[in-house]
Structure 1
Amino acid sequence: MLNVIEHGEPGRPQVLIAHGLFGSGRNWGVIGKRLADTFHVLCPDMRNHGDSPWFDSHSYEDMADDLAGLLDGPADVVGHSMGGKAAMMLALTRPDLVRRLVVADIAPVAYGHSQSHNIAAMKAVDLSGVTRRSEAAPLLDADDEVKSFLLQSLDVAEARWKLNLDVLDREMDRIIGWPEVSGRFDGPALFLSGGRSDYVRREHRETIKASFPQARFARIPDAGHWLHAENPRDFEATLRAFLA
Protein backbone atom coordinates (compact mmCIF):
# COMPACT_ATOMS: atom_id res chain seq x y z
CA MET A 1 0.00 0.00 0.00
CA LEU A 2 2.76 2.46 0.92
CA ASN A 3 5.29 3.71 -1.59
CA VAL A 4 8.64 2.19 -0.59
CA ILE A 5 12.23 2.97 -1.58
CA GLU A 6 14.45 -0.09 -1.15
CA HIS A 7 18.20 -0.31 -0.65
CA GLY A 8 20.28 -3.49 -0.57
CA GLU A 9 19.59 -7.06 -1.59
CA PRO A 10 16.38 -8.85 -0.60
CA GLY A 11 17.21 -11.81 1.62
CA ARG A 12 19.53 -9.82 3.85
CA PRO A 13 18.36 -8.90 7.38
CA GLN A 14 15.60 -6.36 6.92
CA VAL A 15 15.57 -2.84 8.33
CA LEU A 16 12.40 -0.73 8.10
CA ILE A 17 12.82 3.05 8.56
CA ALA A 18 9.80 5.26 9.30
CA HIS A 19 10.28 8.99 8.67
CA GLY A 20 8.85 11.92 10.63
CA LEU A 21 6.14 14.49 9.97
CA PHE A 22 6.43 16.32 6.59
CA GLY A 23 9.20 13.92 5.57
CA SER A 24 9.49 11.07 3.08
CA GLY A 25 11.43 7.89 2.50
CA ARG A 26 13.84 9.91 0.34
CA ASN A 27 15.00 11.79 3.43
CA TRP A 28 16.63 8.55 4.59
CA GLY A 29 18.38 7.82 1.31
CA VAL A 30 21.91 8.45 2.61
CA ILE A 31 21.47 6.23 5.66
CA GLY A 32 19.62 3.59 3.64
CA LYS A 33 22.29 3.41 0.94
CA ARG A 34 25.09 3.10 3.50
CA LEU A 35 23.30 0.34 5.42
CA ALA A 36 22.66 -1.51 2.14
CA ASP A 37 26.05 -3.24 2.40
CA THR A 38 24.64 -5.36 5.22
CA PHE A 39 20.86 -4.98 5.26
CA HIS A 40 17.83 -4.89 3.00
CA VAL A 41 16.49 -1.43 3.89
CA LEU A 42 12.88 -0.33 3.38
CA CYS A 43 12.23 3.43 3.46
CA PRO A 44 8.47 3.96 2.98
CA ASP A 45 6.60 7.20 2.51
CA MET A 46 4.18 7.22 5.43
CA ARG A 47 0.44 7.64 4.68
CA ASN A 48 -0.50 11.18 3.61
CA HIS A 49 3.16 11.83 2.68
CA GLY A 50 5.24 11.58 -0.48
CA ASP A 51 3.95 9.15 -3.09
CA SER A 52 1.92 7.05 -0.66
CA PRO A 53 -1.90 7.11 -0.67
CA TRP A 54 -3.90 9.77 1.14
CA PHE A 55 -6.40 8.79 3.82
CA ASP A 56 -8.88 10.59 6.05
CA SER A 57 -7.10 9.50 9.24
CA HIS A 58 -3.57 9.71 10.54
CA SER A 59 -3.56 7.77 13.81
CA TYR A 60 -0.61 5.79 15.15
CA GLU A 61 -2.72 2.64 15.08
CA ASP A 62 -3.26 3.20 11.33
CA MET A 63 0.40 3.95 10.70
CA ALA A 64 1.49 0.84 12.60
CA ASP A 65 -0.90 -1.25 10.49
CA ASP A 66 0.59 0.31 7.34
CA LEU A 67 4.10 -0.65 8.44
CA ALA A 68 3.00 -4.17 9.41
CA GLY A 69 1.71 -4.61 5.86
CA LEU A 70 5.25 -4.16 4.52
CA LEU A 71 6.72 -7.01 6.56
CA ASP A 72 6.39 -10.75 6.14
CA GLY A 73 8.57 -11.55 9.15
CA PRO A 74 10.56 -9.95 11.97
CA ALA A 75 12.62 -6.87 11.03
CA ASP A 76 14.69 -4.26 12.77
CA VAL A 77 12.52 -1.15 12.91
CA VAL A 78 13.83 2.42 13.07
CA GLY A 79 11.58 5.46 13.43
CA HIS A 80 12.21 9.18 13.78
CA SER A 81 9.81 11.57 15.54
CA MET A 82 6.31 10.79 14.19
CA GLY A 83 7.80 7.68 12.60
CA GLY A 84 9.31 6.77 15.96
CA LYS A 85 5.86 6.80 17.53
CA ALA A 86 4.54 4.67 14.67
CA ALA A 87 7.46 2.26 15.20
CA MET A 88 6.71 2.07 18.93
CA MET A 89 3.05 1.37 18.21
CA LEU A 90 4.07 -1.41 15.81
CA ALA A 91 6.34 -2.93 18.47
CA LEU A 92 3.60 -2.80 21.12
CA THR A 93 0.80 -4.16 18.93
CA ARG A 94 2.76 -6.54 16.65
CA PRO A 95 5.88 -7.53 18.62
CA ASP A 96 6.17 -10.61 16.40
CA LEU A 97 7.23 -8.30 13.55
CA VAL A 98 9.89 -6.32 15.43
CA ARG A 99 13.29 -7.86 16.12
CA ARG A 100 14.99 -4.74 17.46
CA LEU A 101 13.60 -1.23 17.82
CA VAL A 102 15.37 2.12 17.39
CA VAL A 103 13.42 5.26 18.29
CA ALA A 104 15.07 8.51 17.20
CA ASP A 105 14.38 11.61 19.32
CA ILE A 106 10.83 10.99 20.51
CA ALA A 107 9.13 9.44 23.56
CA PRO A 108 5.74 7.71 23.97
CA VAL A 109 4.19 10.84 25.47
CA ALA A 110 2.03 13.73 24.30
CA TYR A 111 3.82 16.90 23.21
CA GLY A 112 2.57 20.46 22.88
CA HIS A 113 4.50 21.58 19.80
CA SER A 114 1.78 21.75 17.14
CA GLN A 115 3.07 22.03 13.59
CA SER A 116 -0.13 23.59 12.24
CA HIS A 117 1.69 26.88 11.68
CA ASN A 118 3.92 25.18 9.11
CA ILE A 119 0.87 23.71 7.40
CA ALA A 120 -0.66 27.19 7.22
CA ALA A 121 2.61 28.51 5.75
CA MET A 122 2.63 25.86 3.03
CA LYS A 123 -1.01 26.45 2.18
CA ALA A 124 -0.35 30.19 1.88
CA VAL A 125 2.23 29.79 -0.91
CA ASP A 126 0.85 30.64 -4.36
CA LEU A 127 2.33 27.86 -6.49
CA SER A 128 0.74 28.94 -9.78
CA GLY A 129 3.82 30.70 -11.12
CA VAL A 130 6.53 28.65 -9.39
CA THR A 131 8.83 26.77 -11.77
CA ARG A 132 11.65 25.93 -9.30
CA ARG A 133 11.78 25.24 -5.59
CA SER A 134 14.11 28.20 -5.17
CA GLU A 135 11.28 30.45 -6.34
CA ALA A 136 8.98 29.08 -3.63
CA ALA A 137 11.52 29.60 -0.84
CA PRO A 138 10.94 33.35 -0.31
CA LEU A 139 7.17 32.76 -0.39
CA LEU A 140 7.27 30.21 2.44
CA ASP A 141 7.06 31.78 5.90
CA ALA A 142 9.25 29.40 7.91
CA ASP A 143 12.67 29.30 9.56
CA ASP A 144 15.46 28.65 7.07
CA GLU A 145 16.24 25.13 8.37
CA VAL A 146 12.58 24.12 8.40
CA LYS A 147 11.96 25.83 5.06
CA SER A 148 14.60 23.72 3.30
CA PHE A 149 13.08 20.57 4.79
CA LEU A 150 9.50 21.45 3.82
CA LEU A 151 10.44 22.36 0.26
CA GLN A 152 11.60 18.78 -0.34
CA SER A 153 7.89 17.87 -0.39
CA LEU A 154 7.02 20.40 -3.08
CA ASP A 155 6.15 18.90 -6.45
CA VAL A 156 6.92 21.85 -8.73
CA ALA A 157 5.79 20.12 -11.93
CA GLU A 158 2.33 19.45 -10.51
CA ALA A 159 2.20 22.69 -8.47
CA ARG A 160 1.25 20.82 -5.32
CA TRP A 161 2.57 19.72 -1.96
CA LYS A 162 3.12 15.96 -1.66
CA LEU A 163 1.50 16.13 1.76
CA ASN A 164 -2.17 15.76 2.68
CA LEU A 165 -2.15 19.09 4.48
CA ASP A 166 -5.85 19.18 5.32
CA VAL A 167 -5.82 15.80 7.06
CA LEU A 168 -2.47 16.40 8.78
CA ASP A 169 -3.83 19.67 10.15
CA ARG A 170 -7.07 18.09 11.32
CA GLU A 171 -5.20 15.16 12.91
CA MET A 172 -2.47 17.31 14.52
CA ASP A 173 -3.62 16.59 18.08
CA ARG A 174 -3.27 12.87 17.36
CA ILE A 175 0.14 13.35 15.75
CA ILE A 176 1.67 15.26 18.66
CA GLY A 177 -0.22 13.12 21.17
CA TRP A 178 0.08 9.49 22.20
CA PRO A 179 -2.88 7.13 22.67
CA GLU A 180 -3.57 4.80 25.55
CA VAL A 181 -2.09 1.50 24.45
CA SER A 182 -1.66 -1.77 26.30
CA GLY A 183 1.08 -4.23 25.55
CA ARG A 184 4.80 -4.35 26.11
CA PHE A 185 7.77 -4.88 23.84
CA ASP A 186 10.35 -7.07 25.55
CA GLY A 187 12.90 -7.01 22.74
CA PRO A 188 16.01 -4.81 22.50
CA ALA A 189 15.15 -1.11 22.16
CA LEU A 190 17.39 1.92 21.70
CA PHE A 191 16.12 5.44 22.33
CA LEU A 192 18.56 7.67 20.48
CA SER A 193 18.39 11.43 21.03
CA GLY A 194 20.08 14.54 19.69
CA GLY A 195 22.47 16.13 22.15
CA ARG A 196 20.88 19.54 21.61
CA SER A 197 17.30 18.24 21.65
CA ASP A 198 14.92 18.15 24.61
CA TYR A 199 12.33 15.81 23.09
CA VAL A 200 13.40 12.84 25.23
CA ARG A 201 13.84 13.98 28.81
CA ARG A 202 15.02 12.13 31.88
CA GLU A 203 11.50 12.24 33.31
CA HIS A 204 10.28 10.29 30.27
CA ARG A 205 12.46 7.29 31.07
CA GLU A 206 10.08 5.70 33.58
CA THR A 207 7.26 5.84 31.02
CA ILE A 208 9.53 4.39 28.34
CA LYS A 209 10.74 1.57 30.58
CA ALA A 210 7.16 0.60 31.46
CA SER A 211 6.45 -0.30 27.83
CA PHE A 212 9.99 -1.10 26.67
CA PRO A 213 11.74 -2.75 29.65
CA GLN A 214 14.95 -3.42 27.70
CA ALA A 215 15.24 0.21 26.59
CA ARG A 216 18.72 1.70 26.42
CA PHE A 217 19.45 5.39 25.96
CA ALA A 218 22.12 7.20 23.95
CA ARG A 219 22.73 10.69 22.56
CA ILE A 220 24.28 11.90 19.32
CA PRO A 221 26.47 14.93 20.05
CA ASP A 222 26.30 18.05 17.92
CA ALA A 223 22.78 17.25 16.73
CA GLY A 224 19.27 18.47 17.43
CA HIS A 225 15.92 16.87 16.61
CA TRP A 226 16.95 15.95 13.03
CA LEU A 227 19.92 13.99 14.38
CA HIS A 228 20.17 11.64 11.38
CA ALA A 229 20.58 14.60 9.01
CA GLU A 230 22.73 16.79 11.26
CA ASN A 231 25.21 14.10 12.27
CA PRO A 232 24.64 11.17 9.89
CA ARG A 233 27.99 9.45 10.46
CA ASP A 234 27.55 9.19 14.24
CA PHE A 235 23.92 8.19 13.76
CA GLU A 236 24.92 5.44 11.33
CA ALA A 237 27.75 4.19 13.57
CA THR A 238 25.44 4.02 16.61
CA LEU A 239 22.76 2.27 14.57
CA ARG A 240 25.21 -0.31 13.23
CA ALA A 241 26.61 -1.00 16.71
CA PHE A 242 23.13 -1.60 18.12
CA LEU A 243 21.89 -3.71 15.20
CA ALA A 244 25.07 -5.82 15.33
Structure 2
Amino acid sequence: MIRTASILASGAAALLLASALPALAQDGHVNHAAHGHAHAAFASNRLHVRVDGPEGAPDLILIPGLSSSPEVWQGAVDHLADRYRVHRIHVQGFAGAPADGNATGPVAAPVAEEIARYIREQGLTKPAVVGHSMGGTMGMMLAARHPDLVGKLMVVDMIPFMGAMFGPPGTTAESVAPVADQVFAAQSTAPRDQYLAQAQAAVTGMIKTEAARPGPLKDVETSDQQVSAAAFRELILTDLRPELGRITAPTEVLYVKFNDPRMTDAITDMIYQASFANLPGARLKRIDGSAHFIMLDQPTAFYSDLDAFLAR
Protein backbone atom coordinates (compact mmCIF):
# COMPACT_ATOMS: atom_id res chain seq x y z
CA MET A 1 0.00 0.00 0.00
CA ILE A 2 2.89 2.35 0.66
CA ARG A 3 4.10 1.75 -2.87
CA THR A 4 0.60 2.40 -4.18
CA ALA A 5 0.46 5.74 -2.38
CA SER A 6 3.89 6.62 -3.75
CA ILE A 7 2.76 5.79 -7.27
CA LEU A 8 -0.30 8.00 -6.86
CA ALA A 9 1.73 10.89 -5.53
CA SER A 10 4.23 10.74 -8.35
CA GLY A 11 1.74 9.97 -11.10
CA ALA A 12 -1.86 11.10 -10.90
CA ALA A 13 -1.20 13.80 -8.33
CA ALA A 14 1.61 15.28 -10.37
CA LEU A 15 -0.65 15.40 -13.39
CA LEU A 16 -3.46 17.09 -11.50
CA LEU A 17 -0.93 19.48 -9.98
CA ALA A 18 0.19 20.53 -13.42
CA SER A 19 -3.40 21.04 -14.50
CA ALA A 20 -3.79 23.73 -11.87
CA LEU A 21 -1.21 26.03 -13.40
CA PRO A 22 -3.05 28.71 -15.36
CA ALA A 23 -1.93 32.05 -16.69
CA LEU A 24 -3.63 35.41 -16.29
CA ALA A 25 -7.40 35.80 -16.45
CA GLN A 26 -9.15 37.89 -19.04
CA ASP A 27 -11.92 40.32 -18.20
CA GLY A 28 -15.45 39.31 -19.07
CA HIS A 29 -16.81 36.01 -20.33
CA VAL A 30 -15.11 34.41 -23.29
CA ASN A 31 -16.97 33.97 -26.58
CA HIS A 32 -20.43 33.64 -25.03
CA ALA A 33 -22.21 35.61 -27.74
CA ALA A 34 -20.46 33.63 -30.44
CA HIS A 35 -22.04 30.43 -29.16
CA GLY A 36 -25.53 31.88 -29.10
CA HIS A 37 -26.45 30.54 -25.68
CA ALA A 38 -28.35 32.16 -22.83
CA HIS A 39 -27.39 32.77 -19.22
CA ALA A 40 -29.78 31.98 -16.41
CA ALA A 41 -31.21 34.93 -14.51
CA PHE A 42 -29.24 34.14 -11.37
CA ALA A 43 -27.10 36.67 -9.53
CA SER A 44 -23.94 35.20 -8.02
CA ASN A 45 -20.35 36.30 -7.60
CA ARG A 46 -19.22 32.65 -7.55
CA LEU A 47 -20.61 31.32 -10.82
CA HIS A 48 -22.79 31.95 -13.81
CA VAL A 49 -24.90 29.40 -15.65
CA ARG A 50 -25.32 28.71 -19.33
CA VAL A 51 -28.71 27.21 -20.23
CA ASP A 52 -29.48 25.10 -23.31
CA GLY A 53 -32.53 23.08 -24.28
CA PRO A 54 -36.27 23.53 -24.13
CA GLU A 55 -38.14 24.70 -21.06
CA GLY A 56 -40.09 21.88 -19.48
CA ALA A 57 -37.53 19.23 -20.38
CA PRO A 58 -35.84 17.29 -17.55
CA ASP A 59 -33.09 19.32 -15.89
CA LEU A 60 -29.42 18.33 -16.07
CA ILE A 61 -26.58 20.23 -14.38
CA LEU A 62 -23.07 19.85 -15.84
CA ILE A 63 -20.09 20.99 -13.74
CA PRO A 64 -16.65 21.28 -15.38
CA GLY A 65 -13.38 20.71 -13.58
CA LEU A 66 -10.50 22.83 -12.38
CA SER A 67 -9.72 25.71 -14.76
CA SER A 68 -12.25 24.34 -17.26
CA SER A 69 -15.11 26.02 -19.10
CA PRO A 70 -18.63 24.87 -20.03
CA GLU A 71 -17.27 24.17 -23.51
CA VAL A 72 -15.90 20.79 -22.37
CA TRP A 73 -19.53 19.61 -22.28
CA GLN A 74 -20.52 20.86 -25.75
CA GLY A 75 -20.41 17.40 -27.31
CA ALA A 76 -22.68 16.04 -24.59
CA VAL A 77 -25.13 18.90 -25.07
CA ASP A 78 -25.18 18.26 -28.82
CA HIS A 79 -25.67 14.54 -28.21
CA LEU A 80 -28.65 15.13 -25.94
CA ALA A 81 -30.30 17.05 -28.80
CA ASP A 82 -32.81 19.10 -26.78
CA ARG A 83 -33.98 16.11 -24.73
CA TYR A 84 -32.84 17.91 -21.56
CA ARG A 85 -32.74 21.42 -20.16
CA VAL A 86 -28.97 21.63 -19.60
CA HIS A 87 -27.51 24.01 -17.02
CA ARG A 88 -23.74 24.36 -17.50
CA ILE A 89 -21.83 25.87 -14.58
CA HIS A 90 -19.05 28.37 -15.25
CA VAL A 91 -16.99 28.95 -12.11
CA GLN A 92 -15.81 32.54 -11.65
CA GLY A 93 -12.05 32.75 -12.12
CA PHE A 94 -11.92 29.82 -14.54
CA ALA A 95 -11.65 29.99 -18.32
CA GLY A 96 -11.81 33.75 -18.77
CA ALA A 97 -14.48 34.57 -16.20
CA PRO A 98 -13.50 37.28 -13.66
CA ALA A 99 -12.53 35.93 -10.25
CA ASP A 100 -15.16 37.97 -8.37
CA GLY A 101 -16.14 36.14 -5.15
CA ASN A 102 -13.63 33.36 -5.77
CA ALA A 103 -10.67 35.74 -5.67
CA THR A 104 -9.68 34.59 -2.18
CA GLY A 105 -10.34 31.55 -0.03
CA PRO A 106 -12.00 28.24 -0.92
CA VAL A 107 -13.75 27.74 -4.24
CA ALA A 108 -15.36 24.31 -4.50
CA ALA A 109 -17.43 24.38 -1.30
CA PRO A 110 -18.85 27.89 -1.81
CA VAL A 111 -19.64 27.14 -5.46
CA ALA A 112 -21.42 23.93 -4.43
CA GLU A 113 -23.56 26.00 -2.05
CA GLU A 114 -24.36 28.43 -4.84
CA ILE A 115 -25.42 25.54 -7.08
CA ALA A 116 -27.77 24.44 -4.29
CA ARG A 117 -29.19 27.97 -4.16
CA TYR A 118 -29.51 27.96 -7.95
CA ILE A 119 -31.54 24.74 -7.87
CA ARG A 120 -33.88 26.17 -5.26
CA GLU A 121 -34.32 29.61 -6.78
CA GLN A 122 -34.78 28.31 -10.32
CA GLY A 123 -37.34 25.77 -9.12
CA LEU A 124 -35.50 22.74 -10.49
CA THR A 125 -36.94 19.44 -9.30
CA LYS A 126 -34.34 16.81 -8.48
CA PRO A 127 -32.03 17.54 -11.43
CA ALA A 128 -29.42 15.04 -12.54
CA VAL A 129 -25.91 16.31 -11.77
CA VAL A 130 -22.77 15.38 -13.69
CA GLY A 131 -19.38 16.68 -12.58
CA HIS A 132 -15.94 16.16 -14.08
CA SER A 133 -12.82 16.18 -11.87
CA MET A 134 -13.21 19.11 -9.45
CA GLY A 135 -16.77 19.32 -10.77
CA GLY A 136 -17.19 15.79 -9.43
CA THR A 137 -16.03 17.01 -6.03
CA MET A 138 -18.64 19.77 -6.14
CA GLY A 139 -21.26 17.25 -7.24
CA MET A 140 -20.45 15.03 -4.25
CA MET A 141 -20.60 18.05 -1.92
CA LEU A 142 -23.97 19.04 -3.35
CA ALA A 143 -25.46 15.54 -3.13
CA ALA A 144 -24.13 14.89 0.40
CA ARG A 145 -24.96 18.27 1.91
CA HIS A 146 -28.26 18.83 0.08
CA PRO A 147 -29.58 15.31 -0.61
CA ASP A 148 -33.09 16.66 -1.15
CA LEU A 149 -31.97 18.63 -4.20
CA VAL A 150 -30.20 16.02 -6.35
CA GLY A 151 -32.03 13.38 -8.36
CA LYS A 152 -28.98 11.43 -9.47
CA LEU A 153 -25.23 11.99 -9.54
CA MET A 154 -22.46 11.08 -11.97
CA VAL A 155 -18.84 11.67 -10.96
CA VAL A 156 -16.38 11.66 -13.84
CA ASP A 157 -12.81 10.68 -12.92
CA MET A 158 -12.56 11.96 -9.34
CA ILE A 159 -12.09 10.36 -5.94
CA PRO A 160 -13.57 11.81 -2.73
CA PHE A 161 -10.19 12.53 -1.08
CA MET A 162 -7.49 13.64 -3.48
CA GLY A 163 -5.16 14.33 -0.55
CA ALA A 164 -4.64 10.59 -0.19
CA MET A 165 -2.47 10.80 -3.31
CA PHE A 166 -0.01 13.06 -1.51
CA GLY A 167 0.89 10.84 1.43
CA PRO A 168 1.21 7.31 2.80
CA PRO A 169 -1.71 5.10 3.83
CA GLY A 170 -3.65 6.73 6.63
CA THR A 171 -3.10 10.24 5.29
CA THR A 172 -5.68 12.69 6.62
CA ALA A 173 -6.64 16.23 5.68
CA GLU A 174 -4.74 17.44 8.74
CA SER A 175 -1.57 15.50 8.00
CA VAL A 176 -1.48 16.58 4.35
CA ALA A 177 -2.07 20.28 5.14
CA PRO A 178 1.64 21.23 5.02
CA VAL A 179 1.90 19.70 1.54
CA ALA A 180 -1.23 21.55 0.41
CA ASP A 181 0.21 24.81 1.69
CA GLN A 182 3.48 24.21 -0.14
CA VAL A 183 1.64 23.42 -3.36
CA PHE A 184 -0.43 26.58 -3.04
CA ALA A 185 2.64 28.74 -2.37
CA ALA A 186 4.42 27.31 -5.41
CA GLN A 187 1.44 27.73 -7.73
CA SER A 188 0.38 31.16 -6.58
CA THR A 189 3.86 32.65 -7.03
CA ALA A 190 5.01 30.81 -10.16
CA PRO A 191 6.02 33.01 -13.12
CA ARG A 192 3.57 33.14 -16.00
CA ASP A 193 5.87 31.33 -18.42
CA GLN A 194 6.16 28.44 -15.99
CA TYR A 195 2.38 28.24 -15.79
CA LEU A 196 2.09 28.12 -19.55
CA ALA A 197 4.75 25.44 -19.92
CA GLN A 198 3.17 23.22 -17.28
CA ALA A 199 -0.29 23.79 -18.70
CA GLN A 200 0.89 22.48 -22.06
CA ALA A 201 2.32 19.36 -20.45
CA ALA A 202 -0.79 18.83 -18.32
CA VAL A 203 -3.27 19.05 -21.18
CA THR A 204 -1.13 16.72 -23.28
CA GLY A 205 -1.23 14.16 -20.49
CA MET A 206 -4.91 14.54 -19.66
CA ILE A 207 -6.29 14.30 -23.20
CA LYS A 208 -5.12 11.57 -25.56
CA THR A 209 -6.99 13.00 -28.54
CA GLU A 210 -4.73 15.68 -29.95
CA ALA A 211 -7.52 17.50 -31.79
CA ALA A 212 -9.44 17.92 -28.52
CA ARG A 213 -6.63 19.65 -26.62
CA PRO A 214 -6.76 23.29 -27.82
CA GLY A 215 -9.99 24.21 -26.02
CA PRO A 216 -9.02 22.89 -22.58
CA LEU A 217 -5.53 24.31 -23.01
CA LYS A 218 -7.02 27.76 -23.70
CA ASP A 219 -9.25 27.36 -20.65
CA VAL A 220 -6.24 26.77 -18.44
CA GLU A 221 -4.31 29.64 -19.98
CA THR A 222 -7.17 32.08 -19.37
CA SER A 223 -7.93 31.02 -15.81
CA ASP A 224 -6.98 33.13 -12.81
CA GLN A 225 -3.78 31.96 -11.15
CA GLN A 226 -4.86 32.63 -7.57
CA VAL A 227 -8.30 31.07 -7.98
CA SER A 228 -6.90 27.88 -9.49
CA ALA A 229 -4.12 27.62 -6.89
CA ALA A 230 -6.59 28.09 -4.04
CA ALA A 231 -9.02 25.60 -5.55
CA PHE A 232 -6.30 22.99 -5.92
CA ARG A 233 -5.22 23.46 -2.30
CA GLU A 234 -8.85 23.00 -1.28
CA LEU A 235 -9.09 19.76 -3.27
CA ILE A 236 -6.05 18.32 -1.50
CA LEU A 237 -7.58 19.17 1.90
CA THR A 238 -11.15 18.06 1.19
CA ASP A 239 -12.01 14.56 2.42
CA LEU A 240 -15.57 13.70 1.44
CA ARG A 241 -15.37 10.02 2.36
CA PRO A 242 -17.15 10.51 5.72
CA GLU A 243 -19.96 12.36 3.93
CA LEU A 244 -20.63 9.83 1.19
CA GLY A 245 -23.16 7.98 3.32
CA ARG A 246 -25.40 11.05 3.28
CA ILE A 247 -25.84 10.79 -0.49
CA THR A 248 -29.25 9.37 -1.31
CA ALA A 249 -29.18 10.00 -5.07
CA PRO A 250 -28.29 7.05 -7.31
CA THR A 251 -24.61 7.55 -8.08
CA GLU A 252 -22.36 6.43 -10.91
CA VAL A 253 -18.60 6.95 -11.07
CA LEU A 254 -16.74 6.79 -14.37
CA TYR A 255 -12.96 6.67 -14.16
CA VAL A 256 -9.79 5.84 -16.08
CA LYS A 257 -6.58 4.07 -15.19
CA PHE A 258 -4.21 6.47 -13.48
CA ASN A 259 -1.76 8.01 -15.92
CA ASP A 260 1.35 6.28 -14.62
CA PRO A 261 3.07 3.31 -16.30
CA ARG A 262 3.48 1.61 -12.92
CA MET A 263 -0.27 1.57 -12.35
CA THR A 264 -2.46 -1.32 -13.45
CA ASP A 265 -6.18 -1.64 -14.09
CA ALA A 266 -6.47 -3.76 -10.95
CA ILE A 267 -4.76 -1.20 -8.71
CA THR A 268 -6.89 1.59 -10.14
CA ASP A 269 -10.05 -0.45 -9.57
CA MET A 270 -8.96 -1.17 -5.99
CA ILE A 271 -8.35 2.51 -5.25
CA TYR A 272 -11.78 3.54 -6.54
CA GLN A 273 -13.54 0.73 -4.73
CA ALA A 274 -11.85 1.69 -1.46
CA SER A 275 -12.47 5.40 -2.02
CA PHE A 276 -16.23 4.92 -2.47
CA ALA A 277 -16.65 2.18 0.15
CA ASN A 278 -18.88 4.48 2.21
CA LEU A 279 -21.32 4.66 -0.70
CA PRO A 280 -21.93 0.95 -1.36
CA GLY A 281 -24.73 1.57 -3.85
CA ALA A 282 -22.50 3.53 -6.22
CA ARG A 283 -21.91 2.03 -9.66
CA LEU A 284 -18.20 2.17 -10.54
CA LYS A 285 -17.08 1.79 -14.14
CA ARG A 286 -13.61 2.09 -15.64
CA ILE A 287 -13.42 3.52 -19.17
CA ASP A 288 -10.45 2.17 -21.09
CA GLY A 289 -8.54 3.96 -23.82
CA SER A 290 -9.03 7.37 -22.26
CA ALA A 291 -7.15 9.94 -20.23
CA HIS A 292 -8.73 12.28 -17.67
CA PHE A 293 -11.18 14.01 -20.04
CA ILE A 294 -13.30 10.94 -20.78
CA MET A 295 -15.97 12.91 -22.63
CA LEU A 296 -13.33 14.14 -25.10
CA ASP A 297 -11.24 10.97 -25.50
CA GLN A 298 -14.07 8.42 -25.54
CA PRO A 299 -17.20 10.37 -26.47
CA THR A 300 -19.14 7.36 -27.77
CA ALA A 301 -18.59 5.41 -24.55
CA PHE A 302 -19.30 8.47 -22.44
CA TYR A 303 -22.55 9.32 -24.25
CA SER A 304 -23.71 5.71 -23.97
CA ASP A 305 -23.11 5.74 -20.22
CA LEU A 306 -24.67 9.19 -19.89
CA ASP A 307 -27.81 8.02 -21.70
CA ALA A 308 -28.09 4.94 -19.49
CA PHE A 309 -27.44 7.00 -16.37
CA LEU A 310 -30.12 9.54 -17.25
CA ALA A 311 -32.63 6.84 -18.18
CA ARG A 312 -31.97 4.71 -15.11
TM-score, with length taken from structure 1: 0.78
Report the Cα distance in structure 2 between the residues aligned to 1:177 and 1:227, rounded to whole angstroms.
25
- CA-CA distance at 1:240 after TM superposition: 0.5
Q: Residue 145 in 1 paired to residue 204 in 2?
A: yes
SS class of match (1:153): helix
User: Which gives a bigger RCO, structure 1 or 2 (Cα 8 Å, sep 6+)?
Assistant: 2
SS in 1 for 2:115: helix
Instruction: Return closer, same or farther for 1:65/1:221 CA change in 2, 3 Å cut-off.
Output: same
Residues 1:65 and 2:113 are matched in the alignment: yes
- DSSP-derived class of the 1:34 partner: helix
1:37 to 70, 77, 82: 82
Flag the structure with higher strand content: 1
Report SS of the residue matched to 1:77.
strand
**Number of residues paired by the alignment?**
225
1:124 aligned to which of 193, 209, 213: 193
Distance 1:96 1:105, change over 3 A: same
Aligned to 2:302: 235
Structure 1: 5+ residue stretches without partners: 127-138, 155-160
Aligned partner of 1:84 among 123, 133, 136: 136
Pairwise mapping of residues 40-51 of structure 1 onto structure 2 (< 5 A)?
A: 40-50=85-95, 51=97
| Structure 1 counterpart of 2:106, one-letter code | H
Describe the superposition over 1:170-191 as per-residue Cα deviations: whole angstroms up to 9, x where unpaired: 4432123324654611221001
CA distance in 2, matches of 1:33, 1:118: 35
Matched, 1:107 2:177: no
1:163 maps to what in 2? 223
Q: Distance in 2 between matches of 1:175 and 1:196?
A: 17
| Pair 1:34–1:59, CA change in 2 (3 A) | same
Q: 1:233 to 1:177 in 2, by over 3 A?
A: farther
Q: How does 1:175-186 map to 2 (within 5 A)?
A: 175-179=235-239, 182=243, 184-186=246-248
Conserved in 2, the CA contact under 8 Å of 1:15 and 1:39?
Answer: yes
Distance 1:57 1:149, change over 3 A: farther
For the residues of structure 2 that align with 1:100 and 1:93, how far apart are their CA atoms? 14
SS at match of 1:67: helix
**How far does the alpha carbon of each residue in 1:92-151 deviate from its partner, in whole angstroms, 9 at most, with x for none?**
00111110000001110124478877877782279xxxxxxxxxxxx7453262673553
- Partner amino acid, structure 2, of 1:66: E
What's the counterpart of residue 214 of structure 1?
281
In structure 2, what is the Cα distance between the partners aligned to 1:93 and 1:228? Answer: 27
1:205 aligns with 2:273: yes
Alpha-carbon distance between aligned partners in 2 of 1:47 and 1:239, rounded to the nearest angstrom: 26
Give percent identity, aligned residues only. Answer: 25
Is 115-124 or 220-229 further displaced after alignment?
115-124
Q: Structure 1: which amino acid aligns with 2:253?
A: F
Q: What is the Cα deviation at residue 206 of structure 1? A: 3.7
* Aligned residues: CA RMSD: 3.0
Change (3 A) 1:153 1:110: closer
Larger fraction in helix: 2
Distance 1:203 1:213, change over 3 A: same
The aligned residue for residue 22 of structure 1 is 67
Summarize the Cα distance change of 1:231–1:204 in structure 2 as closer, same or farther, 3 Å threshold.
closer
Q: Is the Cα contact below 8 Å between 2:66 and 2:231 reproduced in 1?
A: no
